[in-house]
């Protein structure tokens, strides 16, 4: 065994998991999302800044508003998914930093007094957390369907505010019939990794 | 069990894993990194663009060059870690796109003919993959020490080229004595998640 992670977990998170384009009707509970969050919140971000914010789109009315901002090819599946989450970066994460990074509370002012620096850090670190979130959804035995095909300005205006930048929309549920495209090729180790 | 992932795997990847600041002398083998890569390459990116590139800094000479570009507080641990990886985004990922996304080979020209669009997509998707990589290192029973405290332009010039943008440097190894800071607080579910 080269990896310490057991094979069943490797399969659940990576080998047998696929981006889903269709889902069963089985609901996704608040408890499931809370368990996912309580796991993935532990994974690291720079200065523990934790800028990921999640909007769970549960009501029919909100779902309809979201679907209208999705790209044509993403509408039907976003309308039908048991749960849809908008992942966003909080550009004002520094307000929480003295609590989140107590051993250097000055970080808020030393590194993040400028909005441009915050936007850059929030986008990078919330995207890192989006990676944890996608694997966390799989850890709950669910499939994720992450999408960037939507009107970002429209979603921001409709569901967020000037301080929160949308990153992606994720359909969540148990995969339904014909949920998966065949897996496309990946770059080999030698194509992606070099040694110096 | 709210989560499908077994408790031992939850602990390995999230609960008992911490960012490491000190390592034992035990080497990190090529086989371990290859196993990590072969697992995390399967997790999703937009259009399967897979823009993450990894430079493993193994030689003493290369390590010395890298350390000189690290922020003061990151130098000693980067010099001492069994393995150090530079994670970068390939801004010319579109060249591989007809292979990586064979059911819509036109994506290369339709969405990514402009360098600015490629840089934006490469940074976001390689960062997503960096999240997978950090968890992948933990899946190998190793600890990761991701850092953004370094001279980005210097590292790019020294180890990459104009087409590859550094994202972070990651120390990798078995955690040594006093490797971990106490875990800082995280945002609660209600602070990070809203429902509409």
> What are the tens digits of pLDDT across the range A39-50?
999 999 999 999
Q: Which residues of B touch A47 (CB under 8 A)?
A: none
Within a domain: A75: yes
- Per-residue pLDDT band for A97 (boundaries 50, 70, 90) equals very high
Q: Three-state DSSP class for A105? A: coil
Which of B14, B52, B127 comes nearest A43 by C-beta? B14
B57, part of any domain: yes
Residue B105 confidence (pLDDT) above 90: no
CA angle A149-A152-A154, nearest 5°?
115
pLDDT at residue B58 is higher than 80: yes
Report the alpha-carbon distance of residue B40 to residue A5 in Å, rounded: 13
List pLDDT tens digits, range A143-152: 999 999 999 9
Residue A105 binned pLDDT confidence (cut-offs 50, 70, 90): confident
Cα-Cα-Cα-Cα dihedral sign, residues A117, B133, A36, A148:
positive
| Residues of chain B positioned with their CB less than 8 A from the CB of A103 | 181, 184
Domain presence at residue B191: no
Among chain B residues, CA nearest to A10:
B39
| Distance (Å, whole) CA B173 – CA B142 | 5
Asked if pLDDT for residue A1 goes beyond 80, the answer is no
The reply to whether A57 falls in a domain is: yes
Distance, first Cα to last Cα, chain B: 26
Averaged pLDDT of chain B: 96
Asked if the Cβ–Cβ distance from A37 to B193 is below 8 Å, we say yes
Under DSSP, the state recorded for A177 is T
Cross-strand pairs, A172: A83, A144
Which residue in B182, B177, B184, B183 sits closest to B80, CA to CA? B177
pLDDT of residue B134: 98
Please indicate whether, in this complex, the C-beta atoms of A135 and B132 are within 8 angstroms of each other. Answer: yes
Task: Report if residue A12 sits inside a domain.
Answer: no
- Domain annotation covers residue B193: no
Instruction: Indicate whether A194 belongs to any domain.
Output: no
Question: Which of A19, A33, A139 lies nearest to residue B5, judging by beta carbons?
Answer: A139
Burial class of B25 by CB neighbour count within 10 A (0 to 12, 13 to 18, 19+): exposed
Nearest to B58 among A41, A167, A196 (CB): A196
What's the CATH number where A40 sits?
3.40.109.10
Whether A79 is covered by a domain: the verdict is yes
CB contact under 8 A, A141 and B35: no
Residues in B touching A148 (Cβ below 8 Å)? 46, 124
Indicate the pairing of strand A83-90 with strand A52-57: antiparallel
d(CA B10, CA A175): 22
Whether residue A42 and residue B186 make contact (CB cut-off 8 A), yes or no, is: yes
Question: Domain count of chain B?
Answer: 1
Tens of pLDDT, residues B131-173: 999 999 999 999 999 999 999 999 999 999 999 999 999 999 9
- B12-57 pLDDT, tens per residue? 999 999 999 999 999 999 999 999 999 999 999 999 999 999 999 9
Q: How many CB pairs under 8 A join A and B?
A: 227
Phi then psi for residue B127, to 5 deg, are -70, -40
Q: Which residue segment(s) compose the domain that A117 sits in?
A: 36-176
B19 contacts B146 by C-beta, under 8 angstroms: yes
Q: What rounded mean pLDDT belongs to chain A?
A: 96
């Amino acid at each position: 065994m080269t990896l310490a992670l057991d094979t069943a977990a490797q399969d659940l998170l990576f080998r047998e998991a696929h981006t889903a384009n269709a889902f069963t009707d089985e609901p996704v509970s608040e408890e499931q999302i809370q368990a996912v969050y309580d796991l993935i919140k532990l994974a690291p971000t720079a200065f523990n800044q934790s800028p990921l914010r999640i909007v769970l789109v549960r009501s029919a009315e909100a779902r309809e508003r979201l679907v209208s901002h999705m790209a044509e090819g993403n509408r039907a599946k976003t309308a039908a998914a048991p749960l849809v989450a908008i992942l966003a970066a909080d550009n004002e994460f520094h307000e929480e930093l003295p609590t989140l990074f107590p051993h250097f509370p000055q970080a808020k002012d030393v590194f993040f007094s400028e909005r441009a620096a915050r936007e850059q850090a929030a986008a990078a670190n919330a995207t890192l957390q989006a990676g944890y979130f996608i694997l966390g959804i799989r850890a709950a035995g669910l499939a994720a369907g992450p999408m960037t095909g939507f009107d970002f300005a429209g979603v921001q205006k409709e569901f967020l505010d000037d301080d929160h930048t949308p990153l992606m929309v994720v359909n969540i549920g148990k995969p339904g019939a014909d949920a998966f495209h065949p897996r496309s090729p990946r770059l080999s180790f030698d194509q992606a990794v070099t040694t110096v």
